[in-house]
Structure 1
Amino acid sequence: MDLQFPRSSRHTRTPTSPWIGIGRSDALDASAQIASMLMVLHNTALTLCAAGAALCIAAVLYRLRRKPGLPFFPGPQGLPILGNLFDLPTETEWVTYRNWGKEFDSDVVHAEVLGSHIVVINSAKVANELFEKRSSLYSDRPPLVALNKLLKVDWIMGFQPYGQMWRTYRKAIHEHFNIAAVQQYKPLQLKCTHQLLRTLLDSPEGFMDHIRHLGGQTILSIAYGIDVKPRNDPFVATAEETLHSVSLASRIDGSLFDMIPWLIRMPSWFPLARFKKVAEEREHFSVSMIEDPYTFVKKAMAQGTAAPSVASSMIGQLDSQSSDLEKLMSKTLPGNIYLGGADTTVAALQSFVLAMVLYPDARRKAQQELDTVIGRDRLPDFQDEESLPYVTALVKEVLRWRPVAPLGIPHSLVADDVYDGHLIPAGSMVFGNAWAMLHDPTIFPDPEAFKPEHFLGHASDLFPEVAFGFGRRVCPGQHMARTSVWIAVASVLAAFDISPAVDEYGREIKAEENYASGIVSYPAPFPCRITPRSPLARELIMATLHETS
């Protein structure tokens, strides 16, 4: 800036502003900027002081809460005040916690962050003792701040605290998805599976997307009566984004808000509160997840075009006397069905494809059984399940080998408990490490390998129940998930060969076993070849195009 000073034959007048050479208005602007900067620094100092004070208070509370004479379960040593903040794993947490159990020779391990306790159970025996026999103590949920307050997904039943509202949701979902009720959905599951076969035939390279579409198509039809578009359906896309948001919130950046609740008052630039920025950008997906399909169904009902569904049934039962809870449930219960049903099926089927690439012997054995029992002139049906023990064992092995929810959602302990001489403090976040339990070599020899034989012979009645949760918090849609996965696996194996991808020189490309962290764990994209087993298989797939539901 070219500064102009006033000229005078007399002495030059001293400017009134302390900033020499700057006019009054400029000086005022600069002063305001400086004042603003000082205010920011002041607020920052207060924030840091508050954070420091909170750390000290947490440390004091931590010491006060610890009862003399009762040790915690073993775990990493940790640092003063911060505890195990820097010990917590950021990926494949279930493996780290299992390794802690081996290191400390304990089925239960303990960590602590600023006075918040984390307890991980790696043994099915201990899980049964605590989650089942002491379910009145272990059925609550922690606040789940990142999920419920930042992402606004408190309408998801799995994240709700144990209480009357949760019991009401649970009862309503059970009515639609108990063992007897899910039988009515089998024709729809078969129809959606046959559409999966056609899309795999048309564009096998998009198998990951086709599987996601299958999960969304089946459950959207049941929950809302929506006929999903073959590709790029907006309802499926919104649900996938919501599931991704949930996955992000369940990782370490989001979990910190559960261990350090006062982080919610920190600005998003604060080092431990970065997830607030993510939540601001993604919150709208969880709102659209329940609002958009609900609005679709109400509009279709008004026009007389609504297909039968859980949503249309619940909306149709509303009247002027309906309670606020009933009105809320008519909107959120179908959303729970959709969100809970889609992710389990998708993760399991993507792991199934990966297993077939890595373990071709298992694929060949299953196909040999299919050829022997039902032949190659038709596709499998649900009535074939009892005659296909190896295929059924293969489905169970998929859920054991790579459980869809390795750690699940943490339970919260409502009162101090003592197990095996160790204190588990009230308020602890208690995880059931399903992955560790399903990789216990004393139950499943050679647990890292994919072997359907784990569920044949003497173990034929053993099913990886822990893959669906624990105690009163077990997944209410597990029966639906099992039937969806079974028919899809049997049908794909009957129609297609799945093998490693090859490069331009015909050399096999190794598929990597990389799984994303989160409540539900999906395999990272991997290459493979999916080809029809024969010309007849191709004809059978195309013949399904003329099916009616």
Structure 2
Amino acid sequence: MSTSTFVGFAALLVALFVWFRKPSKASSSTPLPPGPKPLPVLGNVRDLTAKELWLPATQWGKDFGDVVYLHVFGQGLVFLNSPEAVFDLLDKRGSIYSDKPQLIMICDLCGCKNMVAFTGYNEQSKRHRKLMHQAFAPKVINTYHPLMISETHDFLRRLIADPSGYMAHTRRYSGGLTLSVVYGYEAAPHDDKFLAMAEETVDLLANRIASGGGIWPVDILPFLQYLPLWAPGAGFLRNAAKWKATLEECVEKPYEYLKESMKSGNYTQSFCSMLLDENKATEEFEFDLKWVANSMYASSMDTVITTIAHFLLAMMHNPEALAKAQKEIDTVVGSDRLPDFNDRSSLPYVDAIFSETLRWGVPVPLNLPHRLMEDDVYNGKFIPKGSLVFGNIWAIVRDERIYPKASEFIPERFLEEVDEATARRRDPRNYVFGFGRRQCPGNYLVESSIWLLMASMLATLKISKPVDEEGNVIEPKVEFKNPVFRIPTPFKCDIRPRSEAVLNVIRQNTA
């Protein structure tokens, strides 16, 4: 039997199973949410795209409403397109909407099932969140401030020495900071083994393992996982084995470094060392700690890179906002030092730029899916058990009813006097870090580090569109190819120090 015939026959079997399976009792009397018209048996295969899925999903929201339903071979996909829908379901009904899909390719074959983002809603996920809360609660974040300040100053030094490498410097900053915070490890200035390992893992997760929304043929046709490695069409199995080995090495090696450092007594206090000091190191505890630690630095790198890239784009396109922020910093901080966390409450416009960058740049436009654990009815519509539920963050932060002129970068929108309910509804932090019981537990750390980085860049840099040899402005051209993070492709940007005085301050802080 040829490969194409074999796969076609398998697809037919699955289609027949979906076609004849008995529907839920609730579905016979309560309609599903509206959505694009599906094909018989195949469902909405043609409506899905691996690239920028949040864009068609947002159009579906405009066409069909806050809750949109699609299916692929009977697998329900639900898109929530408003604050009310995400809070009502993913937050208020979190007890049944907090599970994660246990996809065969990602979880079993590639070995991601123990990462925080992919664990089911069970005792393990509750242990993970407890560990992260111990180390990353708001009251603990200030203990990491010295590390953030040190890494920020190093970033500025590297950026001024090589402005064209801004993406690499941001990646180095994010990875170096997270390795310091999580493992107490100080990355080497060049070619660091753990940084390289982390970058490879992040690339695998975002651009290969979870590409196309993370749904692979084997997730629809589970028997494909038993194909012999030599069989035609089994390339995904061979890749999965290699990716799993890479991921597990990334989990084990930094943790081994930490344990050896603690054994010798020569170590820096960190997330892992603090928890090892405070808890009995059972086999289960250490297993959880290793995977939580890995999840932290695997998940934070692209969030920081995406946000800073959009910050640079925003400053190039909105020089008046850059000038206004720099005037505020000059007035409050002066020119003899760099901003620090004590200045934050006195820099409202800088904070508004931070908030608007989170909204306008939205690092993860389509929240990683939750899995519904039992049948539910919402606003008279039936949502079947097992549906994958996506919070459409892009649709929310581009909603003109919440953010007038939503496509424009307008920091002033966050300085308007509004009531508490409106302020909460507008705050992008309530969306960009996820929802309910699966909200990113490291959001306070990520927010603090990005704020300091932005404030320091505003204080020290001229950021503008580049010009060619004839003095013509070069408009930045970007694409978004990553299926999970909205990372722009590298673009040209003119970055230089504001003054000689700024250079002296940076040298003093990075000597």
Matches within 5 A, 1:149-548: 149-247=108-206, 248-252=208-212, 254-257=214-217, 260-262=220-222, 264-265=224-225, 275-276=236-237, 278-315=239-276, 322-459=281-418, 462-464=426-428, 465-546=430-511
Contact 2:202/2:299 (CA < 8 Å) preserved in 1?
no
65-74 or 204-213, which deviates more = 65-74
Return the letter of the residue paired with 1:455: F
CA distance in structure 2 between the partners assigned to 1:271 and 1:130 by the alignment? 43
Q: Which of the numbers 103, 106, 114 marks the counterpart of 2:63?
A: 103
Output one character per residue of 1:491-542: Cα deviation in whole Å (capped at 9) or x when no partner.
0010001111222322222113422333333121111011000111111111
> Do structure 1's residue 123 and structure 2's residue 70 form an aligned pair?
no
Return the letter of the residue paired with 1:254: G
3-state SS of 1:448 partner: coil
Q: CA deviation at 1:63?
A: 5.5
Q: Taking structure 1 as reference, are residues 84 and 259 closer, same or farther at Cα in structure 2, changes over 3 Å only?
A: farther
Return the letter of the residue paired with 1:183: N
Q: CA deviation at 1:163?
A: 1.0
Return the letter of the residue paired with 1:541: I
Contact 1:142/1:258 (CA < 8 Å) preserved in 2?
no
Matches within 5 A, 1:17-36: none
Q: Taking structure 1 as reference, are residues 129 and 330 closer, same or farther at Cα in structure 2, changes over 3 Å only?
A: closer
Which residue number in structure 2 is paired with residue 36 of structure 1?
none
TM-score by length of 2: 0.92
CA distance in structure 2 between the partners assigned to 1:452 and 1:95 by the alignment? 24
Q: CA deviation at 1:108?
A: 1.3
Q: CA deviation at 1:393?
A: 0.6
CA distance in structure 1 between the partners assigned to 2:19 and 2:129 by the alignment? 38
CA distance in structure 2 between the partners assigned to 1:258 and 1:437 by the alignment? 32
Contact 2:27/2:384 (CA < 8 Å) preserved in 1?
no
Contact 2:109/2:241 (CA < 8 Å) preserved in 1?
yes
Contact 2:272/2:293 (CA < 8 Å) preserved in 1?
yes
Matches within 5 A, 1:32-47: 41=1
Return the letter of the residue paired with 1:291: E
CA distance in structure 1 between the partners assigned to 2:278 and 2:31 by the alignment? 54
Output one character per residue of 1:355-379: Cα deviation in whole Å (capped at 9) or x when no partner.
2122222212111211222222321
Contact 2:79/2:391 (CA < 8 Å) preserved in 1?
yes
Q: CA deviation at 1:308?
A: 1.9
Q: Which of the numbers 66, 77, 83 marks the counterpart of 2:43?
A: 83
CA distance in structure 1 between the partners assigned to 2:411 and 2:279 by the alignment? 48
Contact 1:212/1:346 (CA < 8 Å) preserved in 2?
yes
CA distance in structure 2 between the partners assigned to 1:261 and 1:49 by the alignment? 11
326-335 or 466-475, which deviates more = 326-335
287-296 or 62-71, which deviates more = 62-71
Q: Taking structure 1 as reference, are residues 273 and 490 closer, same or farther at Cα in structure 2, changes over 3 Å only?
A: farther
Output one character per residue of 1:197-228: Cα deviation in whole Å (capped at 9) or x when no partner.
00011101100000011111111011111111
109-118 or 293-302, which deviates more = 293-302
Which residue number in structure 1 is paired with residue 20 of structure 2?
60
Contact 2:131/2:275 (CA < 8 Å) preserved in 1?
no
CA distance in structure 2 between the partners assigned to 1:393 and 1:305 by the alignment? 41
Contact 2:44/2:72 (CA < 8 Å) preserved in 1?
yes
Q: Taking structure 1 as reference, are residues 120 and 259 closer, same or farther at Cα in structure 2, changes over 3 Å only?
A: farther
Structure of greater relative contact order (alpha carbons < 8 Å, 6+ residues apart):
2
Q: Which runs of 5+ in 2 are unaligned?
A: none
The total of aligned residue pairs comes to 503
363-372 or 213-222, which deviates more = 363-372
3-state SS of 2:138 partner: coil
> Do structure 1's residue 69 and structure 2's residue 29 form an aligned pair?
yes
3-state SS of 1:86 partner: helix
Return the letter of the residue paired with 1:523: P
CA distance in structure 2 between the partners assigned to 1:394 and 1:346 by the alignment? 16
Aligned-pair Cα RMSD in Å: 2.4
Q: Taking structure 1 as reference, are residues 266 and 220 closer, same or farther at Cα in structure 2, changes over 3 Å only?
A: same
Return the letter of the residue paired with 2:435: F
- Percent identity for Structure 1 against Structure 2: 35
Contact 2:183/2:272 (CA < 8 Å) preserved in 1?
yes
Q: Taking structure 1 as reference, are residues 495 and 62 closer, same or farther at Cα in structure 2, changes over 3 Å only?
A: farther
Which structure: larger Rg? 1
Q: Taking structure 1 as reference, are residues 524 and 444 closer, same or farther at Cα in structure 2, changes over 3 Å only?
A: same
238-247 or 480-489, which deviates more = 238-247
Contact 2:462/2:496 (CA < 8 Å) preserved in 1?
yes
3-state SS of 1:531 partner: strand
57-66 or 525-534, which deviates more = 57-66
Return the letter of the residue paired with 1:149: D
3-state SS of 1:398 partner: helix
